[in-house]
Amino acid sequence: MKIATFNVNSIRSRLPIVLDWLKQNEPDALCLQETRVANDAFPERAFEEAGYRAAFRGDGGRNGVAIITREPLENVSTGIDDGGPRDDDRLIRGTLGDIEIVNTYVPQGQGVDKPAYRYKLEWLSRLVGFFGQHYTVEKPVLWCGDLNVAPTELDVHDPKRIEGHVCFTPEVREAFGRVVDWGFVDVLRKHHPEPGVYTFYDYRGRHVIEQNKGWRIDHILTTEPLAERSVDCFVDLAPRKLEKPSDHTPLVAEFEG
DNA sequence: ATGGCACGCATGGCGTGA
């Protein structure tokens, strides 16, 4: 079972790259974030013609998530259903085989002095309850997506410079850590403990790829029973090097069974 | 020291991303 996550920064702009990537990599599931398209304009047919089906949720120019699968994704639903703001455009989940997949686009936060940052911290806090309500750590559960948190100093190219950024503050890392403590293993780190592994490279820097000036803010985390089945997890930098790339690049995990 | 680029929405720049 191969499962990937990719923030595409507009699925309509990134469709050729995504379709090529699907063809070359043949994942069982590809979780997308920042599709930036309303449901009625999602390019569903293009995925069907590629042999995949799509579950998606979006409301226009911002946010938006999707799960692309070869086999039908079951029990699809969206949003955090705890009575707070549902935020359907940032969370989509479903069952694939014996794996529960939760694909999220965690709010970025804009700035530490902005309401969006409080919302981000609250969102991560709500996720703890969400996982507790719907899942158990004894079953295979996979949480992935653009989680907008670099968990440690190993996960940014210049920790001193990035200190205080909404994706790297102590409190956002703690908030993320509390979700992880619900019962998740960072699958990338299980296979790659070394520094310099990143999933995001800002459009604005020069030579960011060559100089490896990235951030690791996209993640695949699983409960222990699924982590035990993981045989590989890696970042695929190739799509970031193409013409008209996303600023993120895919993260892939492979599991036995 | 601290820019910069891309996107959607909308048509002239703005809000957002990280």
A190: confidence class by pLDDT, cuts 50, 70, 90: very high
Q: What is the spatial distance, in angstroms and rounded to an integer, between the CA atom of A138 and the C1' atom of B17?
A: 36
A60: confidence class by pLDDT, cuts 50, 70, 90: confident
A187: confidence class by pLDDT, cuts 50, 70, 90: very high
Is the per-residue pLDDT at A146 higher than 90?
A: yes
- Mean pLDDT on A162-187: 97
Contact A59, A40 (CB under 8 A): no
Q: What is the spatial distance, in angstroms and rounded to an integer, between the CA atom of A89 and the C1' atom of B14?
A: 22
Name the nt closest to A150 by C-alpha to C1': B18
Is the per-residue pLDDT at A90 higher than 90?
A: yes
**pTM for the complete prediction?**
0.97
The Cα A146–Cα A248 span in angstroms is 9
Q: List protein-proximal bases of chain B (any atom < 7 A from a CB).
A: 2-9, 15-18
> How big is chain A by its Cα radius of gyration, in Å?
17
- Mean pLDDT on A109-126: 95
Give the per-residue pLDDT at A153: 96
Backbone angles phi, psi at A143, to 5 degrees: -110, 125
A188: confidence class by pLDDT, cuts 50, 70, 90: very high
Q: What is the spatial distance, in angstroms and rounded to an integer, between the CA atom of A170 and the C1' atom of B13?
A: 36
CA distances from A194 to A98, A153, A198, A234, A241 (A): 31, 12, 11, 12, 22
User: Which fold is adopted by the domain A2-255?
Assistant: Deoxyribonuclease I; Chain A (3.60.10)
What residue ranges do the domains of chain A occupy? 2-255
- Mean pLDDT on A125-148: 98
Is the per-residue pLDDT at A257 higher than 90?
A: no
Give the per-residue pLDDT at A172: 97
Encode pLDDT of A210-250 as tens digits. Answer: 999 999 999 999 999 999 999 999 999 999 999 999 999 99
Encode pLDDT of A22-36 as tens digits. Answer: 999 999 999 999 999
